[in-house]
């Protein structure tokens, strides 16, 4: 953990060492109004904890978190204890980074927020120092000192009261619910991808994977004017969900064990040709290859999904077809745009929430999110 700045202010050890920090036993009732949260640990346990309700310091705001979505990465950290080589669960760690809530207290020097304001919480807080090249040029998702709440060691926003820097909250208009505000986080991922992919009106697109990220990418690609749009998945139920969400989308069920070339042939048949842009939202090697074989000469494969550390690439096919490959790492500068698109009615996130739980029942919510047979798209925890 880097020293100084946000890393020191949001030092996770302070909460773990606070006498008010307590892990509740299964079934144990928290005291009413306690600052409860869902934490996981290196033993792959998940539980409700009580933690201190901190006072906002200079430049900080205390938010009553009203809605939080469970992301696949929250489930992954709980069940597998790590993502890649750098994000490793080594202690009790708070989950959740898709959140929106209500300002309940402001710290000294905070003038832009008042009690009662409704906000979306941007979970990645970069250092913002002028000496940081990435922060200075606005590519702050690359800040080496970023505090990303819920990525170990930093505790997440799935808690009743969350302390946040005032500059990294975004106002929600009255027409945008807390639920939609929290969904602006995965939407920000998709919007960053759409922006950097260079998608233009009328471009043909395939989206590989119809999970939450594929679905918000679908909504974004539709709003950006892509046509036709094909979406793939291994599960018909996910494709049916996509079709309900965007009736004009063309769906392709990827047969288990099919070669990427065969899968790409199905996509090309559905799209009536090779596509200009393939947005990969699984991170699975065979799906990345399928995306590559679906793209036209001079097209692009834009990879949002994350997966195995090392993957093979169809090198000569990419080379002989001048196919560009790009990646997305989280997002920068997308929240205001996400909120405008939702408020303006261009993107409707509401149907994505399939399950709702109270904060006290967050552990049950995680079990539903982790069990594919439950058919959840987005599980939300509301308080």
Ligand X SMILES: NC(=O)c1ccc[n+]([C@@H]2O[C@H](COP(=O)([O-])OP(=O)(O)OC[C@H]3O[C@@H](n4cnc5c(N)ncnc54)[C@H](O)[C@@H]3O)[C@@H](O)[C@H]2O)c1
Residue numbers at the binding site for ligand X (CB under 6 A): 72-73, 189, 208-214, 232-235, 238, 254, 281-284, 286-287, 304-306, 328-330
155 binds ligand SST (CB under 6 A): no
148 binds, among ligand X, ligand SST, Zn ion, none (CB under 5 to 8 A by kind): ligand SST
Q: Which bin fits 369, alpha (ψ -120 to 50), beta or left (φ > 0)?
A: alpha
Minimum CB separation from ligand X for residue 41, in Å? 21
135 binds, among Zn ion, ligand X, ligand SST, none (CB under 5 to 8 A by kind): Zn ion
Give residue number: closest CB to ligand X. Answer: 211
Give, as ranges, the residues between 45 and 104 that touch ligand SST (CB under 6 A): 71, 73, 83, 87
211 binds, among ligand X, ligand SST, Zn ion, none (CB under 5 to 8 A by kind): ligand X
Q: Residue 277: what are its φ and ψ, rounded to 5°? A: -140, 130
* C-alpha dist (Å) from residue 329 to 124, 140, 247: 12, 11, 29
Minimum CB separation from ligand X for residue 26, in Å? 27
Q: Identify the bridge partners of residue 358 per DSSP, sorted by sequence position.
A: 382
Cα separation, 210 vs 175, whole angstroms: 27
Q: Other CB atoms closer than 10 Å to residue 165's CB: what's the count? A: 20
Minimum CB separation from Zn ion for residue 83, in Å? 10
Cα separation, 71 vs 64, whole angstroms: 20
Cα separation, 90 vs 52, whole angstroms: 21
254 binds, among ligand X, Zn ion, ligand SST, none (CB under 5 to 8 A by kind): ligand X
The owner of tokens 């093979």 is 312
In the list 224, 330, 342, 352, the residue contacting ligand SST (rule: CB under 6 A) is 330
* DSSP-derived 3-state class of residue 229: strand
* DSSP-derived 3-state class of residue 115: coil
Minimum CB separation from ligand X for residue 213, in Å? 4
Give, as ranges, the residues between 163 and 192 that touch ligand SST (CB under 6 A): 185, 189
Q: How many CA atoms lie within 13 A of 144 on its CB side?
A: 6
Interface with ligand SST (CB under 6 A)? 71, 73, 83, 87, 148, 151, 185, 189, 330
């Amino acid at each position: 953990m880097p020293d100084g700045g946000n890393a020191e202010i949001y030092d996770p050890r302070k909460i773990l060492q606070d006498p008010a920090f307590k892990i509740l036993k299964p079934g144990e009732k928290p005291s009413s109004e306690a600052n409860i949260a869902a934490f996981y640990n290196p033993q792959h346990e998940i539980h409700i904890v009580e933690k201190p309700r901190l006072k906002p310091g200079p430049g900080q705001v205390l938010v009553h978190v009203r809605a939080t979505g469970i992301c696949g990465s929250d489930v992954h950290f709980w069940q597998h204890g790590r993502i890649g080589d750098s994000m490793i669960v080594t202690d009790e760690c708070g989950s959740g980074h898709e959140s929106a809530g209500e300002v309940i207290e402001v710290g000294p020097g905070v003038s832009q927020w008042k009690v009662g304001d409704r906000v979306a919480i941007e979970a990645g807080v970069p250092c913002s120092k002028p000496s940081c090249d990435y922060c200075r040029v606005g590519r702050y998702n690359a800040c080496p000192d970023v505090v990303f709440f819920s990525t170990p060691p930093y505790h997440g926003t799935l808690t009743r009261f969350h302390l946040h820097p005032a500059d990294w909250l975004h106002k929600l208009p009255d027409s945008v619910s807390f639920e939609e505000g929290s969904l602006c986080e995965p939407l920000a991922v998709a919007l960053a991808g759409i922006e950097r992919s260079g998608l233009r009106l009328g471009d043909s697109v395939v989206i590989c994977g119809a999970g939450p990220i594929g679905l918000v990418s679908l909504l974004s690609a539709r709003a950006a004017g892509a046509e036709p749009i094909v979406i793939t998945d291994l599960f018909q139920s996910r494709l049916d969900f996509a079709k309900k969400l965007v009736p004009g989308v063309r769906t392709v069920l990827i047969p288990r064990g099919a070669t990427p070339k065969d899968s790409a042939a199905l996509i090309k048949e559905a799209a009536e040709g090779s596509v200009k842009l393939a947005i990969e939202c699984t991170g699975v090697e065979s799906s990345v290859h399928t995306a590559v074989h679906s793209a036209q000469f001079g097209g692009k494969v834009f990879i949002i999904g994350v997966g195995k550390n090392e993957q093979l690439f169809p090198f000569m096919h990419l080379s002989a077809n001048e196919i560009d490959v790009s990646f997305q790492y989280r997002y920068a500068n997308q929240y205001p745009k996400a909120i405008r698109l939702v408020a303006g009615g261009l993107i409707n996130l509401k149907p994505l929430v399939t399950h709702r739980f109270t904060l006290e029942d967050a552990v049950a919510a995680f079990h539903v999110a982790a069990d594919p047979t439950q058919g959840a798209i987005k599980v939300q925890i509301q308080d």
